[in-house]
């Protein structure tokens, strides 16, 4: 068996920053540090931070008044901010700056009287946070079918924003349908650089292999999109959380295996998966050199 490993893969700048916000908060503040929701969508990352002392909660009401809370990389709605401030919490915002940009766009266009069509997935924390900025002005568009039927009061003032971790191809189709229906549509492609680069790398890799393993969490949007992109080439593609999820039955008559990992997946899991496969050779397919970084909140610099 041969293995081809795609690059870029693994941690993006937003994930690196979010993890560092939690770690620095633990070092900086004497009181307990609480994290609302998973800081990023990966159980290995969450467990490592929990072992270092972070306390993960699902709701702000579970954080005692006056304590430190970290908001996850996915962002939160204004209601969460207000509730946190009412509880006099010390807020450390680990929201990815590229998600914050989408929030700012939602606020801007809502103030200007636009209807916002937010392309994204129902229930995802990023979508909930963005919609919370202008709930009366925002309509969630999940797929092409809804894009063909969504009704707008003022078709002259419509803007399309997107979740940052979507499929490039699916989003292109949805935006195309919306543009046909609403010729004056303003579009803001908010899919982030990391999502874009990892999908491009998987496309290049999938044409060279018989099977693809995407390493990451089942609840990670960008990981699920990577698996879908690989499957689109007509080859088996599996989303695994680590080496223990591998089934050797998958590899009958498979000569080349492609491996990638999502933007919140630690690199050590890639190493462990490769070690378990024990291939005869390893190739690296490098397409883009990422050198993006984001500054920490001023309280932690």
Residue numbers annotated as active site: 126
Cα 143 to Cα 94: distance, rounded to the nearest angstrom: 29
Cα 185 to Cα 156: distance, rounded to the nearest angstrom: 8
**Dihedral angle over CA of 80, 86, 87, 93, nearest 10:** 40
Cα 59 to Cα 254: distance, rounded to the nearest angstrom: 46
**How many helical (H) and strand (E) elements, i.e. helices and strands, does the chain have?**
10, 13
Cα 50 to Cα 39: distance, rounded to the nearest angstrom: 11
Residue 212, Cα to own-chain centre: how many angstroms? 20
The secondary structure of the chain in percent helix, strand, coil, rounded to multiples of 5, reads 40, 20, 40
Question: Phi and psi for 217 in degrees, rounded to 5?
Answer: -80, 150
């Amino acid at each position: 068996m041969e293995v081809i490993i795609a690059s870029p893969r693994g941690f993006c700048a937003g994930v690196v920053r979010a993890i560092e916000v939690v770690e620095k908060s633990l070092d900086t503040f004497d009181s307990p540090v609480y994290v609302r929701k998973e800081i990023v969508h990966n159980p290995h990352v969450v467990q490592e931070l929990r072992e270092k002392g972070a306390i993960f909660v699902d709701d702000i009401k579970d954080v005692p008044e006056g304590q430190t809370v970290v908001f996850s990389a996915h962002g939160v709605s204004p209601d969460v901010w207000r509730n946190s401030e009412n509880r006099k919490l010390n807020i450390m915002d680990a929201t990815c700056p590229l998600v914050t940009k989408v929030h700012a766009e939602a606020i801007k266009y809502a103030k200007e009287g636009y209807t916002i069509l937010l392309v994204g997935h129902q229930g995802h924390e990023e979508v909930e946070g963005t919609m919370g900025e202008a709930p009366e002005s925002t309509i969630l568009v999940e797929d092409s079918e809804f894009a063909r039927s969504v009704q707008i009061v003022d078709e002259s003032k419509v803007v399309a924003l997107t979740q940052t971790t979507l499929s490039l191809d699916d989003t292109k189709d949805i935006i195309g349908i919306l543009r046909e229906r609403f010729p004056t549509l303003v579009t803001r492609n908010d899919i982030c650089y990391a999502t874009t680069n990892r999908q491009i790398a998987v496309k290049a890799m999938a044409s060279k292999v018989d099977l693809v393993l995407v390493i990451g969490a089942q609840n990670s949007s960008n990981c699920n999109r990577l698996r879908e992109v690989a499957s689109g080439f007509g080859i088996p593609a599996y989303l695994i959380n680590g080496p223990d999820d591998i089934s050797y039955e998958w590899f009958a008559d498979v000569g080349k295996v492609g491996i990638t990992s999502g933007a919140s997946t630690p690199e050590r899991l890639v190493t462990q998966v490769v070690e378990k496969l024990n291939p005869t050779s390893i190739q690296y397919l490098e397409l883009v050199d990422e050198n993006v970084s984001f500054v920490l909140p001023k309280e932690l610099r």
